[in-house]
A and B are shown apart, each in its own frame.
Chain A
Amino acid sequence: MQVTIENLTKKFGDVIGAENLSLDIKDGEFVAFLGPSGCGKTTTLLMLAGIYKPTSGTIRFGDTVVNRLSPRERNIGMVFQSYALYPHMTVYKNIGYPLKLKNMQKKEIDERVNAVANTMGIGDLLDRRPGQLSGGQQQRVALGRALVKEPDILLFDEPLSNLDARLRLTMRGEIKHLQHDLGITSIYVTHDQIEAMTMADRIAVMSGGHLQAFDTPEALYDRPKTLFVAGFVGNPPMNFINVEVSASNGHFVATNGNMSLDLSKERGEKPATAGNSVVMGIRPEDIQIAPDGTVPAEVFVVEPLGRENLVDVRIDGESILLLADTKADHKRGDSVKLKFNMNKAQFFDSKTGKSLLWA
Chain B
Amino acid sequence: MEKKAPDSRRNILRANLTAYGFLAPAGILVIIFFLIPVLLIIYLSMTNLATTNFTTNVSQMEFVGLENYAILLRDQFAGKIFFNTVFYVLVTLAIFNVSLALIVSLLTMHIPRRAGFAFRAIWILPRITTATVYIMLWRRLAVEAPYGIINQFNTLLNQPTYNYLDARPWEFVIMANGFIGVSFGMIIFTSAIESIPKDLMNASLVDGSTIMQRIRFIIMPLLRWPLLFVVTYQTLSLLTSFEQILLLTNGGPGLYDTEVWSLTAYHRALSNYFGNAQWGYGSAFAVVLVIIGVVLAVIYMRVFRFNELVAEPKIEVL
Q: How many Å lie between the Cα of A72 and that of B213 in the bound state?
A: 11
Contact of A101 among B197, B199, B207 (CB under 8 A): B207
How many residue pairs between the two chains, A and B, have CB atoms under 8 Å in the bound complex? 63
Q: How many Å lie between the Cα of A80 and that of B209 in the bound state?
A: 17
Judged by a CB distance under 8 angstroms, whether B66 is at the interface is: no
Contact of B203 among A50, A72, A84, A102 (CB under 8 A): A84
* Chain A contacts for B221, CB-based, 8 A: 88
CB-CB contacts below 8 Å: B5-22 with A: none
* Chain B contacts for A76, CB-based, 8 A: 206
Residue ID in chain A nearest B210 by CB atoms: A72
Judged by a CB distance under 8 angstroms, whether A70 is at the interface is: yes
Judged by a CB distance under 8 angstroms, whether A77 is at the interface is: yes
Judged by a CB distance under 8 angstroms, whether B217 is at the interface is: yes
Q: Is the CB of A88 within 8 A of B207?
A: no
Judged by a CB distance under 8 angstroms, whether A98 is at the interface is: yes
Judged by a CB distance under 8 angstroms, whether B205 is at the interface is: yes
Q: Is the CB of B205 within 8 A of A71?
A: yes
Residue ID in chain B nearest A72 by CB atoms: B208
Q: Which of B202, B210, B217 has the most chain A CB within a 10 Å cutoff?
A: B202
Q: Is the CB of A80 within 8 A of B203?
A: yes
Known contacts A82-B197, A84-B200, A87-B222; is-contact A102 B206 (Cβ 8 Å): no
Residue ID in chain B nearest A157 by CB atoms: B199
Judged by a CB distance under 8 angstroms, whether B61 is at the interface is: no
Judged by a CB distance under 8 angstroms, whether A149 is at the interface is: yes
Residue ID in chain A nearest B200 by CB atoms: A84
Q: How many Å lie between the Cα of A72 and that of B204 in the bound state?
A: 9
Residue ID in chain A nearest B207 by CB atoms: A98
Judged by a CB distance under 8 angstroms, whether A31 is at the interface is: no
Known contacts A86-B218, A88-B222; is-contact A102 B199 (Cβ 8 Å): no
Q: Is the CB of B200 within 8 A of A86?
A: yes
Q: Is the CB of B202 within 8 A of A51?
A: yes
Give the 4 A-B CB pairs with smallest separation, nearest first.
A84-B199, A84-B203, A101-B208, A72-B208
Binding site for B on A (CB under 8 A): 46, 49-51, 70-72, 76-78, 80-84, 86-88, 97-98, 101-102, 145, 149, 155, 157
Q: List 24 A-B contacts (CB under 8 A).
A: A49-B205, A49-B206, A51-B202, A70-B205, A70-B210, A71-B202, A72-B205, A76-B206, A77-B206, A78-B206, A80-B199, A82-B197, A82-B199, A84-B199, A84-B200, A86-B203, A86-B217, A98-B207, A101-B207, A101-B208, A101-B213, A102-B208, A149-B207, A149-B208
